[in-house]
Amino acid sequence: MSKTHIENVKCPKCQAVSEMTIWEFIDTSNDPQMKAQVRNGDAFRFHCKSCGNAPLIFYPTIYHQVNEKYLISYVPGDPSSAETYMKDINKDNESGYDFDNGYTKRVVSDMNQLREKLVILDEGLDDRIIELMKLFIIADIQNSQNELRITEIYFNKDKEGERSFSIRFDNDKWGGTAFSQENYDQVAKTFRKSLLVDDEVIIDTEWAVEMLNKNM
């Protein structure tokens, strides 16, 4: 079941108050339209009745893509409470779903991470392997062009359907590198045993570094 409530939100531009639907819990079997709206940002779009301004206003939500057994909690800012909540989500759970049965559970704290996780889900890939691949890509790039530091890196699929990694450097310029299925398969194979027993919900660079150290 999805869960929503209405909130009165003040327009950041004209200060007039309009109602906004807040999705506390999104269940795609009840609300399949939310699949697209979470991906394109419309789930977070506020519409001002007074001036027509339509900014994005981010709020915490839990997105459940039922057929894929995928559960992701988005908490802007500090994810620690969501981490505990997500790990215990099957206790006193009245949703009718068994979240311990084959579910992928994730917690993210910013919108770019949420978008990336959903691209990875749509591509049928494992975000843990993607995060490990990023470490190797970062190491490669920092070894070859030392003057620029990488500040962000995201898995991406472009309009032509090509998979790649988008990379932001500390001069604010973006670059990219191709996604290699061969490297993906190799990383999957190398870390297979550790990944089987891993049950973390925050899968990011920090997680990948720890995973790498465990396997050194």
- Shortest reach from residue 59's CB to Zn ion, in Å: 18
In terms of CB distance, is 14 or 57 closer to Zn ion? 14
Q: Compute the distance between CA of residue 20 and CA of residue 178 in angstroms, rounded to an integer.
A: 40
Write the binding mask 26 to 65 for Zn ion: x where contact by CB under 5 A, - elsewhere: ----------------------x-xx-x------------
| The one segment of 10-18, 59-67, 81-89, 113-121 that binds Zn ion by CB under 5 A | 10-18
9 is a site residue for Zn ion (CB under 5 A): no
Could you report how far apart the first and last alpha carbons of the chain are, in Å? 44
In terms of CB distance, is 14 or 36 closer to Zn ion? 14
How many other C-beta atoms are found inside a 10 Å radius of the C-beta of residue 117?
22
Sites for Zn ion among residues 63-92 (CB under 5 A): none
Of these, 4, 10, 14, 152, which contacts Zn ion (CB under 5 A)?
Answer: 14
Of these, 13, 45, 192, 214, which contacts Zn ion (CB under 5 A)?
Answer: 13
Residue ranges of E strands in 76-207: 104-108, 150-157, 163-169, 174-178
How many other C-beta atoms are found inside a 10 Å radius of the C-beta of residue 192?
10
How many residues sit close enough to Zn ion to count as binding (CB under 5 A)? 8
Q: Compute the distance between CA of residue 93 and CA of residue 96 in angstroms, rounded to an integer.
A: 7
- Shortest reach from residue 7's CB to Zn ion, in Å: 15
Residue ranges of E strands in the chain: 3-10, 17-27, 61-65, 70-74, 104-108, 150-157, 163-169, 174-178
Residues of the shown chain interacting with Zn ion in the complex, contacts defined by CB under 5 A: 11, 13-14, 16, 48, 50-51, 53
